[in-house]
Amino acid sequence: MRRSITIITPRSLAVTIAYVALLATAWKPQQRSLHLSKEYHKRCRGGFGGETIEDLDGDIQNEESTFALPSLFVNNNVTATTIRRNENRHKKVTKVSTFHIIDLFKIQRCILNVMLLLSPKTWWGVLEVQNMVSGSAFSIETLSEGIWGFLLPLLALWNCKELLSASEPWLQLCLVSPWFMACYHCIATQLLAVWPGLWLYATGRATALPSANTCFNERVQMQRAYRTQRYDVYLPPQTSEPLVDAKGNRVQQALLFFPGALVPHFAYSEVLSQLSDAGFVVVVVSVEPLRLAYHRLGTDQGSIKRIMNQIATNITRRSSRGDKQSHGVVKFTLMGHSMGSFAAMRLFDEFHNSTDETTAKTSFCISHKLILWGVAAFVPFATNLTHHNNAELLIVQGSNDHIRDMMQSCNAALQALFPSQTTVQTIDGGTHDGFGSYTFPNTNKSSTNGDMDRTLQQKDACRLTTNFLRS
């Protein structure tokens, strides 16, 4: 019997825990990120003169205007936009219903989130995070034994009518027997171990400030930003020129940013826009729907490598057009905020330990520099980087970071994992949330005495980061 339980453990995890949790938890509506299907992409290209339309805030604001990117960074397979008036058109344009477009966004986003939430890989990652955060004694085998111990006696009744009517007295006694009571206890204790984490992910999610959405919309209108399902991209000014290495290859510096736990990725639009003004291509990864930058929840090496491939292909293909003698290379610097810092540490270690750091097809490489903002001493999530002798690490902290202060006792253990070339910069009056533009529910606004203004903190963080990258 124990052998059969071990075999069906993954299935029991996917079927039982996922559906029970989804039915029990009132999940908040997800923030819609922009996503167009291939069918709709073709319709837009045919109906709007070869250009595409995307919704910035979930609503189509102008049906006669389209959004596009500078030709240097845009690829035909990338959904991006720009404002252009459809004047002097000789063909009649068939307008797409705004209501139909919005419904399409809702349906696609809902289906994608449900598929991700029901994925066994997602639930495996949630359980790992919960165990590391709270030390939850969750056991998959214990839960499986409880469930199958409860079901097997009932499944022995092949006649469903007898089971539903429960006319047999022995069945009623069986349900209150010590055997079934033990099964109830196994199931209840394991579900209660997971419930606090599920409740936190459902109700403790941060909300982006209106200024963050406004900033992103303005950047799109300036042809300096675009959005896809997996990431947002902030582009440098067109006047900025890429570097040239010793071999004559053009090197475009790019930053790959991972958001903090429960924080929407677009909440960093203001601070990342400032970094793009310094001449960097900045990519912020979306970790929806759970908003946890963890390798089992969408930030594994394979997924991130595909994102880098897309960005590098778009940049090198357009930048090398007209100059076939020059081969473009995109150098990514990993960086993150809060929990996203640990995702950056893990990927830094994995990429530099692998031999395939640069490929001829993608033309990208990983920088030996690493940047962490507002990192607290959650040691179980950290990765040992001491064996990377050429690694350079910048840590930017806020002096009023209450999350960092709570984990101060474990700070020595975290510092023991950093490489020898580590620089720590502290922003006087800076807070943990000040690196982004977001707010958590039930935030105590009265405890902000002495905190630096968010705009000033982000300006200082960008200055320290830019100086480190150019050093």
- Specify the pLDDT at position 269: 97
Q: Are strands 207-208 and 225-227 parallel, antiparallel or unpaired?
A: unpaired
Q: What is the mean pLDDT of the chain?
A: 74
* pLDDT average, residue stretch 374-399: 95
> Is the pLDDT assigned to residue 311 strictly greater than 60?
yes
If one counts the domains in the chain, the total is 1
Assigned token pair, 341: 């810092």
Encode pLDDT of 214-250 as tens digits. Answer: 999 999 999 999 998 899 999 999 876 666 665 666 7
Task: Find all residues with CB under 8 Å of 186, minimum gap 6, and list them.
Answer: 142, 143, 145, 146, 149
> Does residue 429 lie within any of the structural domains?
yes
> Does residue 357 lie within any of the structural domains?
yes
* pLDDT average, residue stretch 115-128: 69
> Is the pLDDT assigned to residue 329 strictly greater than 80?
yes
> Is the pLDDT assigned to residue 263 strictly greater than 70?
yes
> Does residue 17 lie within any of the structural domains?
no
Pairwise pLDDT comparison (183 vs 59), residue with the higher score: 183
> Does residue 411 lie within any of the structural domains?
yes
Range of 325's domain? 207-470
- Specify the pLDDT at position 47: 36
> Is the pLDDT assigned to residue 339 strictly greater than 70?
yes
DSSP per position, 244-266:
E-TTS-EEEEEEEEEPPTT--GG
Residue 107 is classified by DSSP as H
- Specify the pLDDT at position 459: 97
Q: From residue 251, how far is each of 193, 254, 320, 325 by CA, in Å?
A: 49, 9, 11, 14
What does the chain come to in residues? 471
DSSP per position, 128-157:
HHHHHHH-----HHHHHHHHHHHHHHHHT-
State the Cα–Cα distance between residues 171 and 357, nearest whole angstrom: 63
> Does residue 94 lie within any of the structural domains?
no
CB 240 within 8 A of CB 187: no
CB 232 within 8 A of CB 78: no
> Does residue 34 lie within any of the structural domains?
no
CB 230 within 8 A of CB 264: no
Buried b or exposed e, range 128-159, using 16+ CB within 10 angstroms: bbbbeeeebebebeebbbbbbbbeeeeeeeee
Assigned token pair, 183: 């099964």
Assigned token pair, 20: 């029970």
Encode pLDDT of 199-211 as tens digits. Answer: 777 778 899 999 9
> Does residue 15 lie within any of the structural domains?
no
Gyration radius of the chain over CA positions = 26
> Does residue 304 lie within any of the structural domains?
yes
For the ranges 4-13, 143-152, 188-197, the maximum mean pLDDT occurs at 143-152
Q: What is the CATH number of the domain that holds 253?
A: 3.40.50.1820
In one-letter notation, the amino acid at residue 230 is R
Handedness of CA 104, 109, 115, 121 (dihedral sign): positive
> Is the pLDDT assigned to residue 469 strictly greater than 90?
yes
Confidence of residue 156 (pLDDT cuts 50, 70, 90): low
In one-letter notation, the amino acid at residue 430 is G
